[in-house]
Amino acid sequence: MKQEIILTPEGYLELEQELNELKNVVRPRVIKDLKDARAQGDLSENADYDSARDEQAQVEARIKELEYKLEHSKIAEKSAKGAVSIGSTVVILYEDGEEDEYSIVGSLEADPFENKISNESPIGVAVIGHQKGEVVEVASPNGSYKVTIKDVK
């Protein structure tokens, strides 16, 4: 079964740019490094050659991974009705008065350090489909709690 990868338009573009960089800049440099290392002679004890081969394997693996992700991804459409969806930025108010702003993204793009949370995270699951002003219950491993959706952008 193929897993569908959900990306925001920005996330899709980032993956495309990384793939182009790998194919058009990094791969040719690695091939040149490999040729240069080969020219040094004895390959059995050539650390430069081994290093270039390792880097080549990593680059080719990443290219394959990105091609797969781009081929099997779906770009999320923002909800037109003002409801939270993938691609939305949502401001939530916790019961203790603390406020946070999160971008809701697909799981591949999630980065809590940049306040990008997955649509599959407890908060993501709770707020998707809801609108500004609604109070929703977040089911977390430590017990459920309520948050108020203050704004949807």
Shared domain check, 71 and 9:
yes
* CATH code of 97's domain: 3.10.50.30
What CA–CA distance (Å, rounded) separates 54 from 62? 12
Under 8 Å between Cβ of 119 and 86? yes
pLDDT of the residue at 79: 67
**Model confidence at 68: pLDDT above 80:** yes
Specify the pLDDT at position 80: 65
pLDDT in tens, 3-41: 778 899 999 999 999 999 999 999 999 999 989 888 887
Query: Are 66 and 118 part of one and the same domain?
Result: no
Output phi, psi for 35, to 5 deg: -65, -45
Question: Which one of 52, 75, 98 terminates a domain?
Answer: 75
